[in-house]
Structure formats: C-alpha cells, structure tokens
Amino acid sequence: MANPNKVKGTAWESDVRNYLNTAGGLVDAYGRFLDPFDPHNARRPAQEGAADVGDVHAAPFVLECKNVKRPSVPGFLRQAEVEAVHAGFPYGVAVVKVPRQGTRRGKVHFTVRTWTRVRLAVGLAAGDMAARYGFTPSLRGLDTGKWYMTTDLEAFGALLRDVRSAR
C-alpha cells in the first residue's frame, strides 16, 4: 500500500499543475496540452534525488507544493528557493493547500526578496503589486528571513501571465 501522505502530496502537485494549465489556456477541454512543446506548460518534473528541482515547474517559477496540517512556510520557502537554483529557474515559491477549499484558493507564498524581484520584473510599485494580485504580508518578529508575502493560486495565475509577458 502506498504512503497516504505521499498520495496526498502527489495529488496536490497534480491539482496545482492542472489548475495552472487550465487557467492559462494551455490545455483543451480534456486536459490535453494544446502544444506539448510550449515552454509555458506547467509540468511535474522527474525527481532528481539530492538535487531536487521542485514539484511543479511553471516557468519562470519553481513551485514547492505542500499539503500538510501544520505549514512551516519559512522552511518551505527556503526549500523552494534552493530547488529553483537546482532547476535553473529565477524564482521559487511555496504553494500550500487550504483544507476544504478548491485548488484556486491554495496559498502561494513568496519570500520578500523574491516578491520584490518579481515586482520589479513586472514594473509595479509595492502597493500596486499588493493590490493587483491580492498579496498580504506575514511579518514574523524582527527576523526578516521569516517574513513573506501571500496570495492565492488564482491571483498567482494572473501574475504568472504578466511575468511571462514582461520577459
């Protein structure tokens, strides 16, 4: 019998991938890629062992997907950023499932540093970025390494399209 936590995690990764492909207009009504070679297709890469490359690639982002009872967002973000480097992508973010909510309501977390880099890439002031994509800050004490910005997967899909068009 498969590990139930692994099954839950794999299902969440697939749900995130499928949501981004559908929201991005990259698949047909049956979930098949319109263009299998389109670099914008979100994909679940093969695992690389010690040099893990993340759970979902949605260029230019590596998504570390988590379906857990007690999220540890700063740790997930450190993991996402390391995996983005391994994969050769500029941005790593964490996507955490919200219990009893649809995929589009999953929480997408950015370190403040990554959020700022993405914000500059799309040419927005901080207030405009927060308002346009529904970001809220989580400020945990004086250690800025534990601060992060959060939106939902639906707003992230819109941000993803804008980042891609700005490149």
Per domain, the residue ranges of the chain are 4-44+51-166
Q: Quick check: 108 and 147 in contact, CB under 8 A?
A: no
**pLDDT at position 139:** 85
**pLDDT at position 2:** 74
CA dist 104 and 111 (Å) reads 20
Q: Quick check: 108 and 152 in contact, CB under 8 A?
A: yes
**What's the predicted TM-score (pTM) here?**
0.93
Q: Residue 27 gets which letter from DSSP?
A: B
Q: How confident is the model at residue 1 (pLDDT cuts 50, 70, 90)?
A: low
Reply yes or no: is the peptide bond before residue 90 cis, omega within 30 of 0.
Answer: no
